Chains A and B, each alone.
Chain A
Amino acid sequence: MSRPAPSAGAALTTAGFAAATTWVALLSWRGFTDRPATFLVPLVVLAVVVAGVGGLGRAARIGTGGVLLLQTLLGGMVASYAVSGSPVPVGGAWTDLRAAVDLAVEGAQAFAPPVPASEADVAPLLIGGGLLCLLLVDLLAAGLRRTPLAGIPLLTIYSLPVGLVGTELTWWVFALSALGFLVLLFRQEAAAVGRWGRALDGEDRTASAPALQSAGVRLGAATVGLTATALAVLVPLAVPTLDVQLLDIGRGTGGGDGIEIENPMVDLRRDLNRGTDVPLLRMRTDDPDPSYLRISVLSRFTANEWSSGDREIPTENRPEGRVPDLTGVDPDVPRTTFDYDVEVLEDFRSTWLPTMAPVVNVRADGDWRYDVETMDFLAADDDLDTSGLRYSMTGVQLDLSAQELADAGTSAGQVSADFTELPSDMPSIIRQLANDVTASAPTRFEKAVALQDWFRENFTYSLDQVPPGNGTDDLVAFLSTDEGGRVGYCEQFAAAMAVMARQLGIPARVAVGFLVPDEVEPGVFEYSAYDLHAWPELFIAGSGWVRFEPTPADRASGVPTYTQQSVDGPAEEPITPGGRPQDDTAAPGGPAGEEPSAEPTEAAEVETGSDTETGGVPSWVGTVLAWTAAFLLLVGIAVSPRAWRTRRRRQRLAGGPEHVWAELRDSALDLGVPWPEGRSPRETAGGLQPHLAGSQESVAALESLVVALERSRYSRAGDTATAGDWEPLGAAVLAGLQASAADGVRRRARWAPRTLLRPTRVSGHATPAVERELVDHAR
């Protein structure tokens, strides 16, 4: 029986609710751009177009496909007009449209949300995505009348910003879109319940019918929730975010004498081992000792290596003059500034810009960007490197004193907790060593000095036969007293000291750069490949990132002067006996019974730490959990149609002949057996018999079932013959149907039943009283 066309009013109302709900949900995308009106206003027009075309089209009985086509066509024209100024994207308008979309895609990749509209207009992407969502929700809720499924796109819209931006969600957007969704659900269910009500009106209604209905709704809701959750988890994983970890992959050795630096640590080791020294960079400066020219900062330590981690490099962070003030340095620390003019030689191709540290002013051509946390400069453009580059900068030399360094207070909250983050499975030997070495040092600074001195006194510098790498295992080997241990070069020294500092709760990172240059003429210094070096930087409140030099004198003859001064007086900060001092940025959770922290601010940050076994959960656990959850959800989604179908079958088979018959119909359709609409049970059964695999039992069961169904439908009211257990009959017919189906068909029916997405049936239509009266004469 064909579905009666809804009235124009009802169709428009449903489509209007669907579009309005989608638009409200799309409000959660406000955070993607700093000018949300640029996409929200066109989407209002699109919502009106989609709802209007959908409502009127359905009232006019244009098929679902036709309505969707019309909506897509008109919506596409409106979207094209909003983006390119022309409703029909041909010729110049097509070029404009392409350019706008390309720009939007580039902008979305290059900028963290909210994308500044002045730099890149991402509205075309948002308009396109919004249109897609409008179409999908309209199709599901108004076209196919499967409102529960419309919850999936709605929830996806809503959860997208969380996954991508991690922004807070606005409660009222959720409340409004949830409300709209519920109204849509109510409209659909009210219609469905209305149909049930009329059919059973005034009769001994069987309780199972409404129960079945509500069970179906509940199950539908559960499926939607499951799927939506899975999408919310999976979509963010699938969408790439800005990650400078890309630098891990070098561009190859490049051949010749060229020196390339992309991954600083890897390149450093290679370049130190070169057969010949290559001059890389020349610098004219008034600085008498321009040592420690920093190329890059490695801030993330994973079990495998030190890396540059993720970087945030907004476009405004360009070296076009002044760069931000020195992080964490007191204004009253005495300082000297020097000017540097740098000329990079052709052979030195680095995607990182060498600068002094700290630096206050940099002027360089090209799209270099800096990260405010690390203050190193990297090329935002794939084709950009330092080869042949000339630039100038102003560096600062701080006159740090050991006393002030030792007296420094906590650095909690001044730098990111990332700088104390360590993998959770760090071998205890490293922590043990760090504690032992620094046991007698009362303050953070003195502990750092103790570590530096320990390395310089007890270790041997050698580039030959060193165990490569700076991961956990490499460091354990480097620190051990076994044969081959305690020998290394700057990479291991810097890496080991930074890790041990982090173990002690001191924010630490590894810097890669040049050590001491050769003065080729007065005021002109030349840095060569052999000068490449790595050193640790530790954060001390009031002094900022402080350089240390654990590499023995064979390589680095001098240590920073402040590490040689003596320190007087007791430390202001309490030290836990036999343990570690308070963590600067994130106090690790100590064993129970440990003295409470003297500083509430530190105690409050216990949760953010992750440097010990007892600390927070390391990132890989989260990743594994997320993937496991995603996998489980996928499995859940994959099996849910089958579970839903099986459950519905069980419920129906337990019901009366009408329910068993409905189950037979769905099962037949699932198996691809034709089931004519609008035929009598007897006729339908006749068509079904050839599909029963010749089983006499199934044929007999089908016949009994047909008689029962006829009795229930057409016999006199009050006939009790409909009571009985029809499940065995239904099961026998189902067995016959399945036996005659091919294996593949049967599998598909089980895992992806066609009737899953069948539009809600609308059966029967009102009988005019006149017609009924006429037939009454036949009695």
Chain B
Amino acid sequence: MAAPSTDGADLETLARVADRVRANIERVIEGKPEVVSATLVVLLAEGHLLIEDVPGVGKTMLSKALARSIDCSVRRIQFTPDLLPSDVTGVSVFNQDTRSFEFRPGGVFANIVVGDEINRASPKTQSALLECMEERQVTVDNATYQLDSPFMVIATQNPIEMEGTYALPEAQRDRFMARVSIGYPVEAAELAMLQSHTSHTPLDELEPVTDAAELRKLTSIVGDVYVSEPVQRYAVAISAATRRSPELSLGASPRATLHLVRAAKAYAALSGRDYVLPDDVSGLAERVLAHRLLPSVEASMGGRTTEEVLGRILAGVAVPEGQRS
């Protein structure tokens, strides 16, 4: 597998840009560095991010902060129960002047799409995102429209137990590279937040620190990060183990394996390495895999969460020792 080598300068560029973005976001989201890191990983790995948490912890703030930090087109779609699929993808309307149908792009035609409260829309509307998220294109009335690169969907949702929500279908969940939960801030961070957010709105003061072109370059750097055969085997072994586990009724899909390795590459690049470690893979496994897995009835009845089951599976999968492939 001949791949162009990633040189140290590229990695330094990546680290510099990533640090700027990180600093920008942390001006808004305080005390959550690991969430910000996960967000950056998904951004660099060209994945889509699902932010799941209770209302009011900063889900929308995080997605908007990320969008603002990048000088590119940003659209926001508020998912409501009456939102129609055409509102997402776009619609063809008849133009009286030209006497022809004209395509009006929907909300997904942007570099960064913030889908707020995605699980409040009907499953039909949610599914409108399926094609664009995976294939980065929109097909309306037999015409296919390509989406710009980079393209990233940042969706927020409330936990499914909340009232008035529709659970995301499995196919939809599988298309998100990672799911993060923000969680409540620690007291000191909350205090700082009070001081900064009551006098002014930090979000409005955010300036873009990078642009789409630079982001495209960064993602190509991540793509060149080397994944050795043992690490590949390790990722496959983890996915295979989730499929075998009696505690899970749905295991990880091959796409999940793919996302896992891609995310690991981004994480390795962010760590200044041009090669992936098994630890990168195992460290990201929960964020990348957990939202795709369905616990079996027995596991649910036994009070075991998907995260616990996944933790046990990870402990049972041996790291291959083999040397270079």
| Interface positions of A (Cβ within 8 A of B) | 1, 199-200, 203, 658, 677-680, 682-683, 710-717, 719, 763-764, 767, 771-772, 774-779
Contact = CB atoms under 8 A, between A and B. Distances in A.
Given A680-B277, A682-B279, A771-B236, A714 B319 contact: no
B229 interface: yes
Nearest to B259: A778
B223 interface: yes
Contact of A683 (B3, B258, B279, B322): B279
Contact of B228 (A1, A658, A714, A764): A714
Contacts of B317: 678
Interface of B: 1, 3, 5, 223, 226-233, 235-236, 254, 257-258, 261-262, 265, 274-279, 282, 317-325
Contact of B323 (A679, A713, A771, A776): A713
Contact of B226 (A199, A200, A678, A716): A716
B254 A774 contact: yes
Contacts of B322: 199, 713, 763-764
A682 B277 contact: yes
A778 B260 CA distance: 9
B232 A775 contact: yes
B59 to A, nearest CB: 28
Contacts of B277: 680, 682, 710, 714
Given A682-B277, A683-B279, A713 B321 contact: yes
12 contacts: A1-B318, A678-B317, A679-B319, A682-B277, A714-B324, A716-B274, A719-B275, A767-B232, A774-B258, A777-B258, A778-B265, A779-B1
Given A772-B229, A774-B236, 19 more contacts: A199-B323, A203-B324, A678-B317, A678-B319, A680-B282, A682-B279, A683-B279, A713-B321, A714-B226, A716-B5, A717-B325, A764-B321, A767-B232, A767-B233, A775-B257, A775-B261, A776-B1, A778-B262, A779-B3
A678 B3 contact: no
Contacts of A774: 236, 254, 257-258
Contacts, number: 95
A714 B275 contact: yes
Nearest to B324: A717
A678 B318 contact: yes
Contacts of A713: 228, 230, 321-324
Contacts of A778: 227, 232, 258, 261-262, 265
B278 A775 contact: no
Given A775-B236, A779-B1, A716 B275 contact: yes
B274 A715 contact: yes
Contact of B278 (A677, A714, A771, A776): A714
A763 B261 CA distance: 23
Contacts of B262: 778
A7 to B, nearest CB: 22
Contacts of A658: 323
A682 B265 CA distance: 17
Nearest to A779: B3
Contacts of B324: 203, 712-715, 717
Nearest to A683: B279
B275 A715 contact: yes
B321 A779 contact: no
Kindly name the residue among B223, B274, B325 whose own CB sees the greatest number of chain A CB atoms within 10 A. B325
Contacts of A203: 323-324
A752 to B, nearest CB: 27
Q: Report which residue of B230, B235, B317, B321 has the largest number of chain A beta carbons within 10 angstroms of its beta carbon.
A: B321
B211 to A, nearest CB: 25
A678 B317 CA distance: 7
Nearest 8 CB-CB pairings of A with B: A678-B318, A778-B261, A775-B232, A715-B275, A716-B226, A680-B278, A714-B228, A680-B319
